[in-house]
Amino acid sequence: MQVSELMTREVITVFPDTPVVEIARRMLQHHISGIPVVERDGRLVGIVTETDLVVRNANVHFPTFLQILDARIYLSSPRHFEEELRRALGTVAADVMTREVQTVRPDDDISVAATLMFDRRINPIPVVEDSILRGIISRTDIIRHILAQEVDGSSQ
């Protein structure tokens, strides 16, 4: 079965300048765990998930370093700290979104989406064709499919 057969085609999206408060409101209102961020032309540029919003209330991990005289030697990348700080203080989608989005194509088998969800622990996954958002698939869609198969199999 292809992703296009299970995906939600009417996707709730936001723009990069959408306030974080509005994103949270839409997620709760529509009972969804992630919202794709698109440009005005429909091109996918990121996704905001519950995890991206929860980080706003998490403790920021300061980089560890050694101070030797006037030299500071970082033991971990300060870039990670800067990224956490950007997300924690962000006020719009562009500030808090995940930019490197894992996607699937409409003609991919659902096993591709399910494997990504399991291996990378991501949910939902945008469905993209030629950089344009075509739909979204979530764990719920796959579970619904499993249930439908079971019900169809039981009635035979």
Render 27-71 in DSSP notation, one character per residue.
HHHHT-SEEEEE-TTSBEEEEEEHHHHHGGGSPP-PPPEEEETTE
**Which string of b and e fits 87-116 if b means at least 16 CB within 10 Å?**
beebebbbbbbbeebebbebebebebbbeb
- pLDDT at residue 119 in the model: 95
Model confidence over 28-77: pLDDT tens digits? 999 999 999 999 999 999 999 998 888 766 455 556 656 777 777 666 66
> What are the tens digits of pLDDT across the range 71-99?
776 666 667 666 666 666 678 999 889 99
**Taking residues 9-20, what's their average pLDDT?**
96
pLDDT 10s digits, 105-138: 999 999 999 999 999 999 999 999 999 999 999 9
* 10-39 average pLDDT score: 95
pLDDT at 141: 93
- Whether 24 has a pLDDT exceeding 60, the answer reads yes
**Could you tell me which residue, 9 or 55, shows the higher pLDDT?**
9
Please tell me the predicted confidence (pLDDT) of residue 75. 63
Q: At what angle do helices 110-120 and 139-154 cross, to 10 degrees?
A: 130
Task: Answer whether residue 18 shows pLDDT above 60.
Answer: yes
Instruction: With 0.85 as the threshold, say if the pTM is over it.
Output: no
**3-154: which CATH topology?**
CBS-domain (3.10.580)
Q: What is the pLDDT of residue 56?
A: 65
Q: Tell me, what amino acid is at 72? A: R
